[in-house]
Amino acid sequence: MTYSTADASDYSGAPVEFYLFTIGATNYGYTNSQSEYTFDGTTFVPTQIKRSDVEYLGDMSKQGLQIECPRDLGVVTNFIATPPQEPVSVTVYRHHETELIDERQVIWVGRVLNVTWENSKAVIDCESVFTSLKRLGLRRRYQRSCPHVLYGNQCKVVKSNYATTGTATAISGLDVTVAEAANQADGYYSGGILEWTTSAGFGRKVMIENHVGSTLTMLTPVPDLNAGTAVTIYPGCRRTTADCVNKFNNLENYGGMPYIPLKSVFGSSAF
């Protein structure tokens, strides 16, 4: 029996669903079946999970979805303090256990917006992948500073070339002590990145707001970073030609216009 035959049948269908959450390179798979399934390299473990109805509206960008699950489910624990820095994608599959052919259909694709907790359950609010089609694209502005994302495709600085490994020896509020950071002048890591792997095996990264000696002040809290954890730190950039040359030797990819006149030619006074 094929998927389409089982799905159209009044009596032969036995639908189950699979929920795939992806954060970076980490996958979380869950199913409302009583049996465990493995496909495409991900194991979908049985749990109490359900969703709202999928409505096929004229405006596909409005097809949001709510998923309810236990409050301690692995994927939602990543949202307890601060949400992950990387987008969390969601794919919902549907399968019939009466099928003779292992066939699945994708019935919804999107990303997680937020997670709220209600007593013993968590509610995951998701938006459709089609909402990205309605967003305004980025516009490159006429500006002195560089608009490129540091280590991004247009910046072209190879991130791994500037990695410094070390150990977080102490955490106090937003301050993280990493002895290896003191090997560079104050401010070298300001605007940079601190990365580590949690005890659950999930990769995390937080922006470094300020750097003085061995102290790195984070932009957001780091509740799942513990003293003794191995970390990797990357320098930041002030988006100036000086940093582009002296820090990264990357002036050919500088995206700003450093020679814009200080006074507008359209102003009321001459130069």
- 208 with 173, same domain: the answer is yes
Residues 125 and 188 grouped into a single domain: no
Does a structural domain hold residue 35?
yes
Q: Are residues 99 and 168 in the same domain?
A: no
Tell me the CATH number at 190. Answer: 2.40.10.170
Q: What is the DSSP string of 174-242?
A: TEEEEGGGGGS-TTTTTT-EEEEE-TTS-EEEEEEEEEETTEEEESS--TT--TTEEEEEE----SSHH
Query: Could you tell me the pLDDT band of residue 271, with boundaries at 50, 70 and 90?
Result: very low
Whether residues 116 and 20 fall in one domain: yes
CA 162 from chain center: how many Å?
A: 22
pTM above 0.85, yes or no: no
247-257 pLDDT, tens per residue? 999 999 999 99
Q: Where in the sequence is the domain holding 108, given as residue range(s)?
A: 3-134
Please count the structural domains in the chain. 2
223 and 119 co-located in one domain? no
39 and 126 in one domain? yes
Are both 188 and 230 inside the same structural domain? yes
Whole-number pLDDT of residue 261? 82
Tell me the pLDDT tens digit for each residue of 41-98: 999 999 999 999 887 665 555 678 999 999 999 899 888 877 787 889 999 998 887 6
Is 149 inside a domain boundary? no
- Tens of pLDDT, residues 152-189: 999 999 999 999 999 999 999 999 999 999 999 999 99
- From start to end of the chain, where are the E strands? 15-23, 26-31, 37-39, 42-46, 50-51, 65-70, 88-96, 105-118, 121-128, 164-172, 175-178, 193-197, 203-212, 215-218, 229-234
Within a domain: 153: no
- Report residue 42: phi and psi, to 5°: -120, 135
Task: Read off φ and ψ for residue 149, nearest 5 degrees.
Answer: -75, 125
Same structural domain for residues 117 and 10?
A: yes
What would the pLDDT profile of 114-153 be if each residue is shown by its tens digit?
A: 999 998 899 999 998 877 655 556 667 788 899 999 999 9
| Residue at 154 is within a domain | no
Predicted confidence at residue 9, as pLDDT, reads: 63
Sort 80 into a burial class: Cβ within 10 Å, 0-12 / 13-18 / 19+.
middle
| Long-range CB contacts (within 8 A, 24+) of 38-42 | 39/102, 39/104
**Average pLDDT of the chain, as a whole number:** 86
> Is 260 part of a structural domain of the chain?
no
